Amino acid sequence: MPLTDSTIRNSKPHAKPYKVSDGGGLHLLVQTNGSKLWRLAYRFAGKQKTLALGSYPTVSLQKAREGRDAAKRLLSDGIDPSVQKRRQRLAERVSANATFKAVAIEFVSNRRHVLTPRYADELLRRLEADIFSALGHRPIADIDAPELLAVLRKVEKRGALEQVRKLRQTIGQVFRYAMVTGRAKNDPSIALKGALKPKGRVRNHTPMPRDELPTFLRSLDSYDGDPRTAIALRLIVLTMVRTGELRTARWPEFEHLDAPEPLWRVPADRMKMKTEHLVPLSRQAVATLNELRELPGTGDGYLFPSPSREGFMSNNTMLYALYRMGYHGRATVHGFRGVASTILNEMGFPSDWIERQLAHDERDDVRGAYNSAQYLSGRRQMLQHWGDFLEEVKSCGKVTLLAREAA
């Protein structure tokens, strides 16, 4: 006989829990403490199962029957109501933590073990400055391409085209993370390709014209500023490292300078993707380091100590030296990496050696877990060839590619 509200209210607790049936598998489980719980008994895939539908009177008799009927509909479609309920609860938990800002913070947090602290913080600052105020509170699954475009257009109007490129890249990474964690169905940043202004030529990567290399190298020998700055520029050219990696270099990182295979071991925490980087040193690089070691005030800490708060050469010291030498707008420090890459490729060295020496492949999560000594013998040969080439260029006053010796 179907239940009534009166029957339910008059169902008193007994010494043991008992059931009061309503029909169709729906029953009220009366507990010894007086609580009354709705349960639905059903069979699925040949197994007897029970679905909890809430407690009375929070869930009324009418609502309990509606829950039973909804579960029956699922069963008729071949769906287990208990599994569907777990899915709904998971979706609700995911939805509660599925704003763009929450997902972005989680994404960066999960990648901190492969990022330098500075770069991880930079990602969040970038989003905080231009994205979170407009989209941070929005459910990430609801954000579409036109909405993203409108936000990035505001940054674009400031002329910050490189910032727009980096933001779009980071936003795409956040969306792809949301997709694999069940909080977004697609990555709308993909649709923005071609809709934003191209960043054009990046001035801080401007390479020096190769026909000016002889004059530049000779100018370094007669540079009338701080000799340490000239030595720093020479080492940048010889080693192909980034400016920051050289400015923060310490003497203990340099090994076997008096042995046949000298090496600079750049620690993982100083590289963009926290992977140790090995730089084989040519005899020209070793001679330059020895020259630096002989300068007054050189200690056992930083190669280029400074009384500044950081304690080492400032970010613009080498760039301003280039300006002083007449290369304002025509060359930058970072651009020497491009010069080296182009010429070494033309000489026939394997691109894998060159890319590894430039540490470009550290950006890839899979390939980033490489053996830091990979291609080391070949890279040593390549950097020595590069040092000999630069020495010849300075001596003869013209750029002539040296034939690569057979490996």
Same domain, 23 and 139: no
Among 244, 246, 264, residue whose Cα is nearest residue 254: 264
Number of domains composing the chain: 3
Instruction: Please answer whether residues 281 and 264 qualify as being in contact, where contact means their C-beta atoms are separated by less than 8 angstroms.
Output: yes
pTM of the predicted model, to two decimals? 0.53
Same domain, 155 and 169: yes
pLDDT digits (tens, 9 = 90+) for 305-359: 988 888 899 988 999 999 899 888 788 899 999 999 999 988 889 988 998 999 8
Q: What is the pLDDT of residue 199?
A: 61
CATH number, domain at 261? Answer: 1.10.443.10
Query: Any idea which residues carry the catalytic annotation?
Result: 242, 272, 334, 337, 360, 370
Q: Does residue 363 have a pLDDT over 60?
A: no
pLDDT digits (tens, 9 = 90+) for 118-174: 788 888 988 998 999 999 988 999 999 999 999 999 988 887 788 888 899 999 999
Q: What is the pLDDT of residue 315?
A: 82
Q: How sure is the predictor about 364, in pLDDT bands with cuts at 50, 70 and 90? A: very low
Dist CA 331 CA 191 (whole Å): 35
Q: What is the pLDDT of residue 405?
A: 62
- Report the mean per-residue pLDDT for the chain: 88
Same domain, 165 and 234: no
- Contacts (Cβ under 8 Å, ≥6 apart) of 245: 266, 270, 271, 277
Dist CA 178 CA 172 (whole Å): 10
Same domain, 378 and 236: yes
Q: Does residue 47 have a pLDDT over 70?
A: yes
Among 337, 336, 314, residue whose Cα is nearest residue 327: 336
Q: What is the pLDDT of residue 203?
A: 47
Which residue is it, tokens 């280029």? Answer: 304
Q: What is the pLDDT of residue 196?
A: 86
Average pLDDT over residues 27-37: 95
Residue range of the domain that includes 105: 100-200
Q: What dihedral do alpha carbons 347, 352, 357, 360 form, nearest 10°?
A: 120
Q: Tell me which amino acid residue 257 is.
A: L
**Dihedral sign, Cα of residue 74, residue 75, residue 78, residue 79:** positive
Which residue is it, tokens 């947090």? Answer: 109
pLDDT digits (tens, 9 = 90+) for 276-285: 999 999 999 9
Dist CA 375 CA 323 (whole Å): 36
Same domain, 385 and 351: yes
- Contacts (Cβ under 8 Å, ≥6 apart) of 56: 8, 28, 36, 37, 38, 64
Average pLDDT over residues 9-21: 94
Same domain, 328 and 379: yes
